[in-house]
Homo-oligomer: A and B are copies of this chain.
Amino acid sequence: MANFPFQRLQTDLAALIEKTPAGQRLLSEPKLAQKLGVSRATLREAMRTFEAQGLIRRRQGSGTFVVGAVQALDSGLEVLESLETLAQRIGLEVSVSNLSVDSIVADESAAAALDIPLGAALTRVRRVIHAENRPVAYLEDTLPASALGANDLPKDFHGSVLDFLLSRGDLLTSSRTNVSAIAASSDVAKPLQIQRGDVLLHFSAQLFNPEGKIVDHSLSYFIPGYFRFHIVRRVGNGG
């Protein structure tokens, strides 16, 4: 639980930055450290990560300021949040269809993606996300059966495996997401009610727990236009 000061601190600090108006100054580091219950050194480590993401800006002698990018937190790629949450923030009502939960065994690609042995028991969750009664995304999650059994999902499953894992208390730290564009295969085109070959934005992500184990491999296919993903990139110091 709270045995990882840095992790708790990172979520606390993210919440604080999120609710702070752009341009406003944060508390000074000593005060903030005391308020959040960590040392100033630990606080500064966390601040560096947010500074690298462009969410805050620090000026020696002056203070730490929230940079005008509340939008970056809302729909930015820096934070992994469920599609439901994102869609709601944009003002779209979402629903789920074509939900299927299967027990399968790991083939070569699944074993590689999840870093587990061939033939291991897996759970695969597939569904289509609708916004305004139109299909907008096709999602496929593959997890070790030890992480999610085929019967674990509740009857009122809303469509977000991530939200379910979090609500269950699973500790999840980060995800590595590959961004690409592909043409829709017939498998994806059919549930999305589009033509085979139509353009899709494609995410392939691995979700990690604190031990570094991969607990979920997800494939996401987005019909362009409904979601806008953006990211604040730091200019590299030309190594």
Instruction: Judge if A239 is at the interface, Cβ distance under 8 Å.
Output: yes
Residue of B nearest to A165 (CB): B235
**In the complex, are the beta carbons of A81 and B238 less than 8 A apart?**
yes
Q: Which B residue's beta carbon lies closest to that of A77?
A: B231
A172 touches B14 (CB 8 A): no
Residues of chain B lying within 8 A (CB to CB) of residue A230: 176-179
How many A residues face the partner with a CB closer than 8 A? 65
Q: Which partner residue on chain B sits nearest A225 by CB separation?
A: B180
User: Is A54's beta carbon under 8 Å from chain B?
Assistant: yes
Partner of A49, one of B11, B52, B80: B52
Q: State the A residues within 8 Å of B (CB).
A: 7, 10-11, 14-15, 18, 41, 44-46, 48-49, 52-54, 57, 68-69, 72, 77-82, 85, 89, 162-163, 166, 172-183, 197-202, 205, 207, 212, 222, 224, 228-239
A-B contact pairs, 18 of them (CB 8 A): A10-B234, A14-B236, A14-B239, A53-B78, A69-B176, A79-B235, A79-B236, A81-B236, A81-B239, A173-B234, A177-B231, A178-B229, A178-B230, A179-B179, A179-B201, A179-B231, A180-B201, A181-B182
